[in-house]
Amino acid sequence: MKRLAAAKSLIRIPRLVAGCVRSLRPKSRRAVVEKKSARKKRILLVDDESALTHICKLMLGRTDDFVVEEENLGIRALSTARKFRPDVIFLDIRLPDKDGHAIAAELHSDPELRDVPIVFWSGTIRHRQEVIANAHGCWPTLSKPFSHDELTELAANPSYR
């Protein structure tokens, strides 16, 4: 049974990150002039797929506007958030050890983290589903696979598209 689960995981990882890997290829720079803030935005990526969080960290690191921390265990998401003090949290809905909605509830109940925007990301979200509403608020979503532009847009401005 473990062997089958490992095989499924190996098959799933490339499909989830295929769009992300394509986004790492060199692109021509857009002629967009933006004012850069002196402080880099702190982004916490919470997902059980370490390959995905690592690729996203590389993608966000290319812009030089973000400091990124990865967490691959749901049970450690709250403690990592407390230590790291993120400006935005990308949170997988379906983690094997803890539900993303439960983690969001814990973050919302923490007085120091309650105002940190959460972006739910998952392979089960439809592309047109822009928000997830639960008892703790409405959160923007990012469906997997996604592009470099979609990721950086939500990291820079985690509001509803």
C-alpha to C-alpha distance for 130 and 54, rounded to whole angstroms: 24
C-alpha to C-alpha distance for 42 and 145, rounded to whole angstroms: 22
CB 50 within 8 A of CB 12: no
Does residue 104 belong to any structural domain of this protein?
Answer: yes
Tokens encoding 79? 């403690």
- pLDDT one digit per residue (tens) for the chain, 161 residues: 444 444 444 444 445 454 444 444 444 444 333 444 468 999 999 999 999 999 999 999 888 899 999 999 999 999 999 999 999 999 998 899 998 889 999 998 999 999 999 998 877 665 555 555 555 556 688 888 888 998 999 899 887 54
Where is 77: in which H helix or E strand? helix 77-84
pLDDT number for residue 86: 97
pLDDT number for residue 64: 87
Does residue 69 belong to any structural domain of this protein?
Answer: yes
Here the CATH number for the domain that contains residue 149 is: 3.40.50.2300
pLDDT number for residue 43: 97
Burial of 27 (0-12, 13-18, 19+ CB in 10 A): exposed
Does residue 33 belong to any structural domain of this protein?
Answer: no
Does residue 32 belong to any structural domain of this protein?
Answer: no
| Domain housing 86 | 2-22+40-156
Does residue 70 belong to any structural domain of this protein?
Answer: yes
pLDDT number for residue 30: 42
pLDDT number for residue 62: 87
pTM of the model: 0.73
Does residue 55 belong to any structural domain of this protein?
Answer: yes
Rounded to an integer, what is the distance from CA 31 to the centroid of its chain?
27
Provide the domain count of the chain: 1
Tokens encoding 38? 């002196």
Of 36, 42, 86, the residue nearest 67 (C-alpha): 42
The beta-strand segments (E) located in 51-136 are 66-71, 88-92, 118-122, 131-134
